Amino acid sequence: MVEKNARRIGVLTGGGDCPGLNAVIRAVVKTAINQYGIEVTGINDGFLGLIEDRMVSLGNDDVSNILTLGGTILGTSNRANPFSYAVKEGEAWVRHDVSAKVIEHYKKRGLDGLICIGGDGTLSVARDFLQRGLQIIGVPKTIDNDLSETDVTFGFDTAVANATDAIDKIHTTAQSHHRVMVVETMGRYAGWLALYAGLAGGGDVILIPEIPYDLKNVARDIRERVRRGKRFSIVVVAEGAKPVGGDMVVKKVVEGSFEPVRLGGVGIKLADEIEELTGIETRAIVLGHIQRGGSPTAFDRILATRFGNEAVHLMAKGENGMMVSIKGDILASVPIENAVGKLKLVPLNSPLLASARSLGISFGD
């Protein structure tokens, strides 16, 4: 057995929810208690729980039967950056640095370390607390699969499965009514989710942020399908896709959030433009948070379990400032500092893009 350095650790889930979070929490608790005799404290609602001192002790019974559950039993928040905590004062939002409160509550609860499960925003905050002397291990989470220094994040596989299932169902109504159906996926500034789901769901056009599209080319490729007797088309568009020389469609800006800019609406805009250019009835479907929901796939359950298990091993060995990652099928750890602040985008030389093009899929370029 590895010599343990921690007696009590905290675990939190920050940012957007995704399937597999509970599997990580379960693995953290069971590994900590059963292998190392380390107590585990669950922190409610991400960093907000550390700001407000809302925590709960977690034992084996508390994490029993949560492996298959989506979401997170601890709750989460994507608006509680302790270094820039937005509070509404009158009509204005005022930002405060409440990091000292977090450290005070961390020490008050007798925590020797903190396992932070989250994406770029959550882990960026974790990095800043490393500089304040906290012991932290990161676990990468995002359905967008855009976090650097890991081949894949848990939650992505389930989101792809959810989006693919929706595209499968849309096919039948598109074919029946001879329509163009535009399906908007999540993904923020990366096209992984749209690319994978578009390929798996048989999309005819896939539009991703990494390849700005020309609307005339999209219309041309749809008309070409009609000429060949294909009276319907499925267009899968990532929420961050944009036309050549144009901008992404911003739905709203949320004050106080880790990621204040919320993308959304490109699918509806694109549907109107396609119908105007082609004369073919076109409908838009925004999948939205359906992609985040439901029970995690077997792949995500296993990956999340491995991540949670490894995070505790690192903590018990006295490691600090590291994020669990996976390269191929091998678990590794990398400095959190190296994993944040830069997004992992779809490379233009990706074999997936080449495969899609060989199938005749259009990227609008």
Instruction: Write out the catalytic residue numbers.
Output: 144
* Per-residue b or e along 109-118, where b marks 16 or more CB atoms closer than 10 Å to that residue's CB: eebbbbbbbb
Helices (H) and strands (E) in the chain, counts: 11, 15
**In Å, how far from its chain's centre is CA 125?**
16
Q: Which residues contact 124 (CB under 8 A, 6 or more apart)?
A: 258, 340, 341
Quick one: DSSP state of residue 248? P
Measured CA to CA, the distance from residue 80 to residue 110 in angstroms comes to 22
Report which secondary-structure segment, H or E, holds 174: helix 156-177
What is 66-121 written as a DSSP string?
A: -TT--S-TT---SS--TTSEEEEETTEEEEE--HHHHHHHHHHTT-SEEEEEESHH
Question: 190 near 120, Cβ under 8 Å?
Answer: no
Q: Which residue has the tokens 């005070």?
A: 104
Q: Which residue has the tokens 């999309």?
A: 203
What is the CA angle 133-137-142, rounded to 5? Answer: 125
Query: Phi and psi dihedrals of 236, rounded to 5?
Result: -105, 120
Question: 77 near 119, Cβ under 8 Å?
Answer: no
Q: Which two tokens stand for residue 267?
A: 């699918």
Tell which residue, 312, 322, 309, 9, has the closest CA to residue 137.
322
User: Across the strands, what pairs with 104?
Assistant: none
Measured CA to CA, the distance from residue 131 to residue 335 in angstroms comes to 13
Report which secondary-structure segment, H or E, holds 86: strand 85-89
Query: Phi and psi dihedrals of 185, rounded to 5?
Result: -105, 170
Report which secondary-structure segment, H or E, holds 322: strand 322-327
